[in-house]
Amino acid sequence: MPKWITQVGCPYCGASCDDLEVLVSDDGKRVLETRNACAIGNEIFHHAQSPSRPKRPRMRQPDGSMKEVSYDEAIDYTAKTLLAAKKPLIYGFGSTNCEGMSAVARVAEKGGAVLDNCASICHGPSFLAIFDNGYPSCTLGEVKNRADVVVFWGCNPMHAHPRHTSRYSIFPRGTFTAKGQMTRTIISVDPRETDTAKLADHHLMVKQGHDYDLFDAFRTVIRGHDIPDEVAGIPKKTIVDAAKVMKNARFVMIFFGMGCTHTDGRNHNVDIAISLTRDLNAYTKASIMAMRGHYNIAGPGQVWSWQFGFPYCIDLSKGTHAHMNPGETSSIDLAMRGEVDCFVNVGTDAGAHFPIRAVEQLKKHPFITVDPNICMASEISDLHIPVRVVGVEEPGVVYRMDNVPIQFKKVVDGPEGVPSDEELFDRVYERMCELTETEPIWLLAKDHAKAATNAEQ
């Protein structure tokens, strides 16, 4: 009998839904059906079963073709390449678990690499704003139960986070929001009429690239000052009315996305949004949250902040301390300036996401991709190492967009002989230690921790 597995986590967007149900075959090897998942989440579970999925590493040959090699060869090549490079860049981690991120961090430390994650081209500016101005945030549960005014600024969850609005932000009925959508006033600030904007009670069609001006206008109005007749393409009356809606709310929730972090000003757009949230708290309760993109992209921020003190753009090349300064140590800047001489792309597709000039620069040096699937990065790589799919074939801890950790399950077994990210990078670390004739201290520490946990149980 096929079996339904419940409370399964979804390895797609930052909403990290943990209420999926997956029907697996008798032998526990195939996913037959899913319930509760959005179209994209459903596809991830089925895609993992694809017969065309690579199951062995592939190495680029002198004639340009790709040839299957063993995992040992791939691990040896990765270890040697990282050790030989003057300044390797290890980037990615949108789609893997915290265990994998932790293992990669040890490899980066050993290789004197720069360690960066997808936040670099996503919510990295939000980190900078949070460093500068704090983060008055909450959990998605509080949004569901309390928020009666929800602002979506430069984000479109109807497409990017398909179940966000039904689970947390617009439709659900919560403790103090018993009538669901009826209780909530939705404000969308977006230069386009997105599907989220169509759902909103108020849509402020801000002039592209002028979010900062509009935030400043809101703050000025809330402090009781006058503003010009039009700001960022929005009439004064609309701004004053929307400010009134926010001031009179019981709980204002501001969600922001790439519209803030990747238009001119970047971190400053988020910074002033945080200032606005603080201002609103003089009148009511207000909170703010980044619409993180991937199901565990909040993970590297948590894991590496604990390991190194910084969430992203971590330059470990000195060996004695970590240095972080986006603009210098961020992946795109490093690539564009020709500041790195080895690139390892893990659990993401830099080939598709980076500007072409950055990819061209990176391609001048060894280029390695670690990803379960064929993607643009894997196809231009010198080495592609497939791994198990987290959330489908590999369990692990992930952090949801509100930084709540969730234990994800595995539902089926991975392809035979294919390691997880954690296993792969532990082996790379071990090989690097062999090559440099050093003690694999982090593996010993891990064994020690495991033994201690088992003894307790």
Partner 1 sequence: MAQITLKPTKVPELYLEGYNITPDAFAGKSLMEIADLDAHEGKIKVKLGDYFEIAGQSGDTAEETAINIDGDCSRIKYIGNKMSAGSITINGNADMYVGGWMKGGKIHVMGNVDSFCGIAMEGGEIVVEGNAQNHVGCAYRGDWRGMRGGTIRIKGSAGNDIGTFMLGGTIIIEKDAFIHVSTHAEGGTVVIKGNVQGRVGGQMVKGDIYVLGSVQYMLPGFKKVGSVEQKIDGTEATFTHYIGDLGERHPKSKGKEVYANLYVQEA
Binding residues (CB under 8 A) for partner 1: these are: 85-87, 111-112, 128, 131-132, 210, 212-213, 216-220, 222-223, 225-228, 231, 264-265, 268, 271-272, 275, 279, 317-319, 324-328, 337-341
| Cβ proximity to partner 1, 109 vs 382, nearer residue | 109
- Residue 290 Cβ vs partner 1, minimum distance, rounded to whole Å: 17
- Least Å distance between CB 136 and partner 1? 15
| Residue whose CB is less far from partner 1, 33 or 339 | 339
CB of 433 to partner 1, least distance (A): 16
Task: Let me know: does 323 contact 329? Beta carbons within 8 Å.
Answer: yes
Closest separation between CB of residue 232 and partner 1, Å?
8
Q: How far is the CB of 342 from partner 1 (least distance, A)?
A: 10
Rg (CA), the chain: 23
Question: In the complex with partner 1, which residue's Cβ is closer, 83 or 404?
Answer: 83
Q: Which is nearer to partner 1, 27 or 226 (CB)?
A: 226
- In angstroms, give the least distance from the CB of 327 to partner 1: 6
Which residue, 20 or 433, is less far from partner 1 as judged by CB? 433
Residue 62 or 319: the one with the smaller Cβ distance to partner 1 is 319
> Is the dihedral angle over the CA atoms 74, 76, 79, 85 positive or is it negative?
negative
